[in-house]
Amino acid sequence: MAYGPHTPADRQRMLAALGMRSVDELFADIPEPLRASPLRLDPPEPEQLLMQRLAGLAARNKVELASFLGAGAYRHFSPPMVDQILLRGEWYTAYTPYQPEVSQGTLQSIYEYESLIAELVGLDVVSASHYDGAAATAEAALMTCRATSRGTVLVSRAVHPHYREVLRTYFDGAGLGLEEIPLVGDGPERGSTDLAAMKRRLAEADDPVAGVVVAQPNFYGLLEHMAEASRLAHAAGALFVAVVEPVSLAVLAPPGAYGADIAAGEGQALGIPPQYGGPYLGILACTDSLVRQIPGRLVGMTTDVDGKRAYVMTLQAREQHIRREKAASNICTNQTLLALAASVWLAALGPHGLRDVAALGAARAAELEAALASVGVARVHAGAYLNEFAVSVPNAPEVHRRLLDRGVLAGLVLAEAVPDEPGLADALLVCATEVTTGDDVATFARELGLVLAEIGSGPASNTGNGTGAATGDGTGAARSVGARA
Amino acid sequence: MVPSDLRYTKDHEWVRIDGDTATIGVTDFAAGQLGDVVFVDLPAVGKAVEQFATFGVVESVKAVSDLYAPLSGEVVDVNADLGGKPELVNSDPFGDGWMIRVKVGDAAQLEELLDAAGYEKLTAEA
Amino acid sequence: MSASGPRLQPSLFELSKPGRASDKIPHPPADALDRLPAEHRRDVPAALPELNEPEAVRHYVNLSQMNHAVDTGFYPLGSCTMKWNPKVNEWAARQPGFAQLHPLAPDAVAQGTLQLLWELEQILIEISGMRAVTLQPAAGAHGELTGILMVRDYHRSRGDMDRTDVLVPDSAHGTNPATATMAGLRTISIKAAPDGGIDLDAFRARLGPTTAAVMITNPSTMGLFESRVGELLDAVHAVGAMAYMDGANLNAILGRFKPGEAGFDVMHINTHKTFSTPHGGGGPGAGPVAVGEKLEPFLPAPRVLREADGTFRLERVGERPTSIGRMRSFVGSTGVLVRAYAYLRTHGASGLAEITDDAVLAANYLKQRLTESGAYDIPFPGVCKHEFIASATSVKRKTGVRTLDIAKRLLDHGFHAPTVYFPLTVDEAMLIEPTETESIETLDAFADALVAIAREAESDPEIVKTAPHTAPVRRLDEAGAARNPNLRWRPAVGDWTPCPD
């Protein structure tokens, strides 16, 4: 067996010590009718062949594309020192630090992570991590209900659709109310949270709101009026939850600056590879006054009996292993190794490096906007953005598919991602980061121009893929690959 | 021996009556079971408490316990010292570690509580 | 102080020095941010530490050396299954084809990963004896919530709105009742029978039309196979409730017991336990959930589908309205799942059966060694599965030394402590799980250490009560940490250089 150390002699010795002849005797307590049928699986695979199999599977993915896809997961440069540290067995094969005396490495790294994130978000209490940005946002929303003893949360429709769906699942589970705040439909504020509508809802006294959730930047890349939204929430006695993108916090005003009570977000952008969805890093932070409401592990500084500085998991009485059915959350395993990865990445880049990452993305995104405009493709919205924005593209799903064939991953087809949001039937959500090159941008613009000309020049019949997208009708029926949940 | 002038719940709260005011806390036994107390969550002055219902939470490093009211009434005072020094519950559970004072609704409810001997018996069996 | 080996480290912030720069990123154009309105700009730069590569790397290498890890030694942690974390799995997850794939990439460019995920589902279906699997949940507890929400939706879909209770044994892991609460359900805790197993009569007394589900760990958290589970499942189904199996102890039953075949309706699997994905200091894990036919329509969306032409795709938004919805963003913790897949392919059918046989043999051997020594109480002396309980009740009575002290003294012997004070139902409990990847020499050394500590408790209790003595730090002031929480470093003003704008 691959990782088992026992020789037949070892097994014999153990059985002899038990006065048994066969290991089957140890399973005699499984009643006959409950015994399993044999496992119908392939035989064991030696490592050499396993690696060939895995390499073959990996090769069936196409990752060498000029990619402009963000929408909640972002590619950034990671210095090799980060992964080399993460490959140390003392980090990745360590257990949860329940015996702090032999876990000071993990504990100190978590404390440092809490401190780094606290600096970035401007809030003092940071949990040791949640599963991902969506779960962190759901926990944040649940916190507002517990803290205010109210039962309804408002979430902007400009928060990531996956996050809103997870909020829905968690809130239905807990029997709490979740309502969506609509977006401004046109004009210069189109695509941002409709604060007037929010204010009207907050004023409804018969169903007071526990919390308001707004993202910055929002799903469409737009910058929201967070200070104003925060003020409106507080005026109605609700808490304000900011959903944030951590790299952007190098240059954008942090939640602490605009009075947010809780910040949640996805830490994947802190140098963690996309990995087709995870493991990621749910960031959750709050003000001091909410420290006993925040779920998840917390690491604090203390001293040992000799007076040495040391770190320990603290306020554990809140957690499931003690509080059980009264725990705020059932979370046990979290994302510690990813918190370490994010910390090492931040340590590797430093504040200047992080700021440069954000600024480079912004510069490249502006370049992208201009390049797309030069082939007649303009932004959907007018508001300010950092490095992500939506563009109007006739027949967006078909254009996206053709660009993919030409080696360009042209962002996200919004008609498929947010089918219920009006006015986005022909739009792509595109982003640029510091790893997007000028060549990538030029390629995208050039190929987009060619594809638009192709499609615009008669019935779409070149590819025979039977999508049936008629010229110029702009409906772009979503078919086959590219259609995404 | 626990103080003989107090009454006790089977959940290890004690109550001292002084006219129509009751002072409530947890016993040394409870404090011992909990270990070092780190936080006590108490109701605000003016809140109503109900006999045998929870009125707060006491948290130690390794445990959390609900606090059950020995009597019904209205909270008239809360021990503010416990905010900065929760360890008073361990060091002086029957004195400086008191938790809340309540204006008693129905003095007859005292009869439903254990006296010192009854409480000693309970903890001896634990 | 030695030149190498575990040493306390200053904080990252103390190592910071203004002006240190690592020059890893090119400089942006000076006007890159000019177009951002002032309203949105950060006034005060984040005071992140300024280090360069040598300082940063040394910091993290030195910190790591203060950790116990599977790569350094034994973790006899009951309920955690701290088996070996294979190195090929780290290679696999890091293949650029897997690691660089964006989670919203179109199906056409994700066929390799989609195929891997689909195959993994099939393997887990076979192991569990269930019918379908979701790979979405990010951890076991997350899987528990997923499973219980599916059970709730199932009952509601049949108009059964009054099923509000979840029955669990009193030895259940804390996540079980916490999960029930998150699902808006009430937990009813049922005391075990004297032999440690399910008390059928006690369960039957509480099973009824308000029962949504029972949540059972099998083997139990005491390491005992629930021989009466068949009768329990009959009783549960007879009242129209569902049976959830907490799969934390799956390592004990691979190839010997398939929960779906036995009648469980749903179970979760901890890949970071049974299937070797590394614990990472507390996570990440993954918690796939396997279900029978009744719950299949309710699985989280999107599922991975295999088309007639052999290609794979994800379900589209709205394609399966009966789904409970999403439990997380994107498809799952795919990086963890790649590792689990590699592990499962490595072992195959015979390898998995061997894992369980060796894990159970090792646990019984270790229990035998301790029983023969007489040093500890063994509350359940019969055959155990992959883990067993030893108790320090007698040691405490004779010497005042408790399980906590014994755990700390084990650290001085180079072992991590076992799981202590769990399950809650056993006094001074130590839950010991060797797993199948520890050599008999390690098992013997561990038994010897435990016995030595018991003897020490009699001859020199103080040294045990004040242990550990050789770890980088000794016992911590946990009360102080909770009374006056210090949860973040506070950089002093002037510790950083504001970024030139």
The structural domains of chain A, with segments of one domain joined by +, span: 81-346, 351-484
For the domain spanning A351-484, the CATH number is 3.90.1150.10
CB-based contacts of A288: which residues, under 8 Å, 6+ apart?
Answer: A124, A125
Whether the CB-CB separation of B37 and B89 falls below 8 Å is answered with yes
pLDDT of the residue at C5: 64
Q: Do B64 and A292 touch (CB under 8 A)?
A: no
**C479 chain-B contacts, CB cut-off 8 A:** 35-36, 38, 60-61, 87
Rounded to 5°, angle at Cα C309 from C307 and C312: 40
Which of A6, A29, A163 lies closest to C225 in CB terms? Answer: A29
Which of A11, A27, A135 lies closest to C256 in CB terms? Answer: A27
DSSP assignment of A378-432: -BS--S-BSSEEEEE-TTHHHHHHHHHHTTEE--EEHHHHSTTSTT-TTEEEEE-
Q: Do C326 and A162 touch (CB under 8 A)?
A: yes
CB-based contacts of B108: which residues, under 8 Å, 6+ apart?
Answer: none
Taking the C-alpha atoms of residue C258 and residue C244, their distance in angstroms, rounded to an integer, is: 13
ipTM above 0.95, yes or no: yes
Q: Nearest Cα to C299, choosing from C177, C124, C165? A: C124
A326 → chain B, closest CA residue: B64
Q: Nearest Cα to A131, choosing from C465, C498, C286? A: C286
Taking the C-alpha atoms of residue A305 and residue A302, their distance in angstroms, rounded to an integer, is: 10
Q: Give the strands of the sheet with C429-432, arranged side by side.
A: C388-391, C429-432, C419-420
- Which residues are A419's β-sheet partners? none
Ranges of residues in chain A with a pLDDT under 50 are 457-485
When pLDDT is cut at 50, 70 and 90, the band that residue B126 belongs to is: low
* C211-249 per-residue burial string, b: 16 or more CB within 10 A, e: under 16: bbbbbbbbbbbbbbbbbbbeebbebbeeeebbbbbbbbb
Q: CB-based contact (8 Å) between A263 and chain C?
A: no
**Structure tokens given for A29:** 């307590």
B41 → chain A, closest CA residue: A292
User: How confident is the model over B19-52, as pLDDT tens digits?
Assistant: 999 999 999 999 998 999 999 999 999 999 999 9
Taking the C-alpha atoms of residue A104 and residue C66, their distance in angstroms, rounded to an integer, is: 6
Taking the C-alpha atoms of residue C472 and residue B49, their distance in angstroms, rounded to an integer, is: 48
Whether the CB-CB separation of C312 and C305 falls below 8 Å is answered with yes
Q: Do B64 and A316 touch (CB under 8 A)?
A: no
Residue C478's φ and ψ, nearest 5 degrees, are -75, -30
Q: Nearest Cα to B101, choosing from B66, B73, B81? A: B73
Q: Do A126 and C487 touch (CB under 8 A)?
A: yes
Taking the C-alpha atoms of residue A357 and residue B43, their distance in angstroms, rounded to an integer, is: 49
**C483 chain-B contacts, CB cut-off 8 A:** 38-39, 86-87
Taking the C-alpha atoms of residue A243 and residue A262, their distance in angstroms, rounded to an integer, is: 9
**Structure tokens given for A40:** 């119908």
Taking the C-alpha atoms of residue C58 and residue C64, their distance in angstroms, rounded to an integer, is: 10
Taking the C-alpha atoms of residue C187 and residue C167, their distance in angstroms, rounded to an integer, is: 6
List, in order of start, the domains of chain B with CATH numbers: 7-109 (2.40.50.100)
Q: Do C479 and B59 touch (CB under 8 A)?
A: no
Which of B39, B41, B64 lies closest to A323 in CB terms? Answer: B64
Taking the C-alpha atoms of residue C484 and residue C487, their distance in angstroms, rounded to an integer, is: 9
Which of A6, A115, A227 lies closest to C440 in CB terms? Answer: A6
User: What is the model's pTM?
Assistant: 0.94
Whether the CB-CB separation of A113 and A284 falls below 8 Å is answered with no
User: Which chains contact C through at least 3 pairs of Cβ atoms less than 8 Å apart?
Assistant: A, B
pLDDT of the residue at C361: 98
One-letter amino acid at C404 equals L
Taking the C-alpha atoms of residue C323 and residue C153, their distance in angstroms, rounded to an integer, is: 9
pLDDT of the residue at C195: 87
What's domain A81-346's architecture? 3-Layer(aba) Sandwich (3.40)
Average pLDDT of B115-122? 92
Whether the CB-CB separation of C380 and C223 falls below 8 Å is answered with yes
Tell me whether strands B64-68 and B54-60 are parallel, antiparallel or unpaired. Answer: antiparallel
Q: Which of residues 448-467 of A touch C (CB under 8 A)?
A: none
Q: CB-based contact (8 Å) between C482 and chain B?
A: yes
Q: CB-based contact (8 Å) between A101 and chain C?
A: yes
User: Which chains contact B through at least 3 pairs of Cβ atoms less than 8 Å apart?
Assistant: A, C
Q: Is A462 exposed, middle or buried, given 0-12, 13-18 or 19+ CB atoms closer than 10 A?
A: exposed
Q: Which of residues 87-116 of B touch A (CB under 8 A)?
A: none
Taking the C-alpha atoms of residue A42 and residue A45, their distance in angstroms, rounded to an integer, is: 8
Ranges of residues in chain C with a pLDDT under 50 are 1-3
